[in-house]
Amino acid sequence: MEQEIKQDAEGLTFRPMTLEDIPAVMVIEHDAFTLPWTEEAFRNELTHNHFARYMMMEWDGEPVGYAGMWTVIDEAHVTNIAVLSPYRGRKWGERLLLELMKTASQLGMKRMTLEVRVSNRVAQNLYMKMGFEPAGLRKGYYSDNQEDAMIMWAELFPDRSQNARG
């Protein structure tokens, strides 16, 4: 994952997640999910899972979202993507997913997959807008209510910005 911080006019920045980010991630996690991950799960992802890549999204230096994926051979599997509720509806989730997809492409990934609740039409619409297509169901995937998960896949395209020399 790139170490430099990318910033745009809106004040959004993206950077790799660190252990120091876990308290802020927990706030986002509990705001976004009915089945939040634990601090220990994130600690393990950051320290022991060599396939894991996580990034923070900040607005004017404040954490407002994060995303994570596992990179295995040439496929990226989105583990989490979340934006704090006061910042939703600004297309920042789209920006976060795009940044995750770019990072996956830069790491040599060719395809990306994820699971999404079958009832989460907002997320499904975002994923379809970003090139993901439904590819099946995982029955009873979510343990809180046994809801099915839709499996979605997208092709990733090589990041041409690395070839551009200014």
Tell me the three state secondary structure of residue 94.
helix
Closest to 112 (Cα-Cα) out of 126, 122, 97? 97
Query: Could you give phi then psi for residue 5, rounded to 5 degrees?
Result: -95, 130
The answer to whether 115 is a known catalytic residue is yes
Residue type at 29? E
Catalytic residue chosen out of the listed positions 10, 94, 127, 155: 127
Task: Decide the pairing of beta strands 62-72 and 52-59.
Answer: antiparallel
The answer to whether 29 is a known catalytic residue is no
Nearest 5°: the CA angle 98, 102, 106 is 170
Catalytic residue chosen out of the listed positions 10, 20, 115, 133: 115
Question: What are the catalytic residues?
Answer: 115, 127
